[in-house]
Amino acid sequence: MKVTKKILTFLLLGLFLSSCDFRIEIDFGDEDSTTAVSSDKKSSSSSKSSSNSSTNKLSSDSSKNNNSSSTNKTSTSSTNKSSSTTTSNSTTTTSSSSKQESSSTTTTSSSSSSSSSTETSTSSSTSSPSVDSSSSSSVDTNTYLYDKVEEELNVHYIDLGVSGDSILIDYGNYEILIDAGGNKTAGTNIIVPYLREYVEDNTIELTINTHGHEDHMAGYVGLANKDGVFSAFSYGTIVDPGEGYENLKNNNGDLTDLQVQYNEKRDAKIAEGSTYYTIRDIFDNNLERWTIAPDLTLTFLYQKYYDIPYTKTSQNLNDYSICTLLEYQDFKFLFTGDLEKKGEESLVENNELPEIDVYKAGHHGSDTASNDCLVDMIKPKMSIFTADSLGDTYKFPHPEAIDRLSKYSTTYYASYFNGHIVVNMKKDEKTINVNCSDRNDSFKIEPYLACYPTIEAIAAIGSFSSKSDAVLQKIETAEALYSALTTEQKEYVYNYSKLVTAREKYDKL
Ligand SMILES: [Ca+2]
Ligand SMILES: [Ca+2]
């Protein structure tokens, strides 16, 4: 089974992660080393102290203030403490497999304008995948949220088998989880066992559900009577759009079953002691900048939809996506959920965004995201597509988005192509290392764009239950397109199995 194989492969990969050599230099020589992001502060009349940690839930009624003018962009550093020592029950652990698969490490240069090089090495190790904290140095917890300076940071873009987001930022025993999506099955069978490998203290210090779509939320719930991402772990702080902005609503305006289930699971965590903030609470209380360690900060980025309640007339839930900037040493990561054009315009208007090293391409690489207004500001060196179109109809990533990104990006990864994608950075090293569970060579846009008409033709076959000239023509068209591709291009046709299945079915009818 594909999913199981991926997990097992990745566990093995983790065994030698710390021993890998990194070979790709990213040159930060020209960059301003000072903190590059500033958010507009909404003037707040209820400015709670940042040390206000014991409150489980801030009032959602705090006055909604006007968004201040974007001309006054200052950065406020605030720290806040999240505290949750509740331990949730965890009954299972990921099993290991006797199947041994070697993994490879590829590094790519993002300082070069040419296509990335691929240097591959194979290695294996029996060392523990856990972070060695013995070399960590202690820091003042009155200043920082975490009590150590770790030797490395890993950002995991988890492959969910379907398009969807679940991103783990792993810094020793401090973890941030952005979304737990895909679907309920992915939550229980992929995300939970994956996280257990890296959340050794069973507590995720911060989780952010960017918005209430299934592919970003369902994993928190998980399968019935099994662990989902909420039930499997304890949480320091939970942030989401909140009531009135969470909108998997039915036509009659009620919350969907999934939203109701998410709320129940989240509220159970709050009852256990987790701190909960809506994204408006974050800005109303000046909690947007989280100083985790001297070399690590997470900043919530303001955009206007945080303050616009969901209605029938503003019913694109993607607009509500919570956006964050992660800064580790000089490295900068941007996460924008499924934000689309109007949200991106607001994001750019309200924040002085720095150039970004690693950009999770908005909305899985959809044409609706990564618009010029954003891309021209952040100039992403590396773009990652959390896209796995097997079984869906969205055909992410879209060539239009790739075209815009390609003005700046020199390296790409895609979850359907690479599997789990782990970006590793080490303390005091100016290199980014990428390790993937399926294949380490980066995603190349030339063969992808060349095969895209084939991907579209296969998707266009659709479902059928009887023979017809129309169906046969679609199958033959897709087969002809596929057969004309080069071997390399064929590797990018993620829905080829659908074509095989369609042909077999048609011949049997
Ligand atoms: Ca960890
Ligand atoms: Ca932790």
Residue 56 included in any domain: no
Considering its fold, how many domains does the chain have in total?
A: 2
Query: Is 128 part of a structural domain of the chain?
Result: no
- 85 falls within a domain: no
CATH of the domain at 397: 3.60.15.10
Q: Which ligand is nearest to the CA of 205?
A: 2
Task: Determine the distance separating the centroid of ligand 1 and the alpha carbon of 293, expressed in angstroms.
Answer: 14
Expressed in angstroms and rounded, the spacing between residue 201 Cα and the centre of ligand 2 is 5
Residues 338 and 353 in one domain: yes
Is 0.75 surpassed by the pTM of this model?
yes
Starting from the CA of residue 233, give the closest ligand. 2
337 and 473 together in one domain: no
Contact 329, 295 (CB under 8 A): yes
Query: Based on the domain organization, do 329 and 466 belong to the same domain?
Result: no
Query: Which of 399, 418, 443 finishes a domain?
Result: 443
Using alpha carbons, list the distances in angstroms from residue 129 to 126, 399, 415.
9, 37, 22
How many whole angstroms from 170 Cα to the centroid of ligand 1?
A: 5
Compute φ and ψ for 186, nearest 5 degrees.
-60, -35
In the reported structure, the alpha carbon of residue 367 is separated from the centroid of ligand 2 by a whole-number distance in angstroms of 36
**Per-residue pLDDT at 98:** 31
Using the mean position of ligand 2's atoms as its centre, give its distance from the Cα of residue 17 in Å.
19
Cα(236) to centroid of ligand 2, in Å? 8
Q: Which of 411, 443, 475 is the last residue of a domain?
A: 443
pLDDT at 117: 34
The answer to whether residue 331 sits within a structural domain is yes
Instruction: Give the distance (Å) from ligand 2 centre to CA of residue 274.
Output: 13
Residue 389 shares a structural domain with residue 256: yes
**Interval between CA 339 and ligand 1 midpoint (Å):** 28
Q: Are residues 479 and 390 in the same domain?
A: no
Q: Are 373 and 293 members of one domain?
A: yes
Ligand of minimum distance to the alpha carbon of 201:
2
Q: How far is the CA of 65 from the centre of ligand 2 (A)?
A: 34
Determine the distance separating the centroid of ligand 1 and the alpha carbon of 203, expressed in angstroms.
9
d(CA 24, CA 432): 6
In this structure, the answer to whether residues 167 and 270 fall within a common structural domain is yes
Quick one: pLDDT at residue 254? Answer: 73
Do 498 and 401 lie in one domain? The reply is: no
Residue 329 lies in a domain: yes
User: How many angstroms does the Cα of residue 170 sit away from the middle of ligand 2?
Assistant: 9
Between the CA of 182 and the centroid of ligand 2 the distance, in Å, is 23
Q: Is residue 344 part of a domain?
A: yes
Same domain, 220 and 345: yes
227 and 263 co-located in one domain: yes
Mark whether 322 and 462 lie in a shared domain. no
Cis-peptide into 129, omega within 30 deg: no
Question: In percent, how much of the chain has pLDDT > 90?
Answer: 65
Distance 154 CA to ligand 1 centre (A): 9
Rg (CA), the chain: 22
Give the ligand whose atoms come closest to the C-alpha of residue 196.
Answer: 1
CA of 200 to the centre of ligand 1 (A): 6
Identify the CA nearest to 465 among candidates 498, 509, 503.
509
Residue 53 placed within a domain: no
Domain stops at, among 396, 418, 443: 443
Q: What is the pLDDT of residues 430-442, one digit of tens each?
A: 999 999 999 999 9
Ligand with the closest atom to the CA of 204: 2
Q: Specify if 328 maps to a domain.
A: yes
- Using the mean position of ligand 1's atoms as its centre, give its distance from the Cα of residue 168 in Å: 9
403: containing domain: 2-26+102-121+134-443
pLDDT in tens, 246-292: 666 665 667 888 999 999 999 999 999 999 999 999 999 999 999 99
Q: Which ligand is nearest to the CA of 234?
A: 2
Distance 263 CA to ligand 2 centre (A): 22
CA of 6 to the centre of ligand 2 (A): 24
Report the distance separating Cα 290 and Cα 200, nearest Å: 22
Residues 162 and 203 in one domain: yes
Q: Is the Cα dihedral 324, 222, 316, 390 positive or negative? A: positive
How many Å lie between the centroid of ligand 1 and the Cα of residue 196? 9
Q: For each successive 10 residues of the chain (509 residues), what is the average pLDDT?
A: 46 43 36 36 34 33 33 35 34 32 36 34 35 69 95 98 94 98 97 98 98 95 98 98 73 78 97 97 98 98 92 79 98 98 98 98 97 98 90 86 98 97 96 97 98 95 96 98 98 95 97
pLDDT of the residue at 74: 32
Close Cβ partners of 213 (under 8 Å, ≥ 6 residues apart): 181, 248, 317, 318, 338
333 sits in which H/E element = strand 331-335
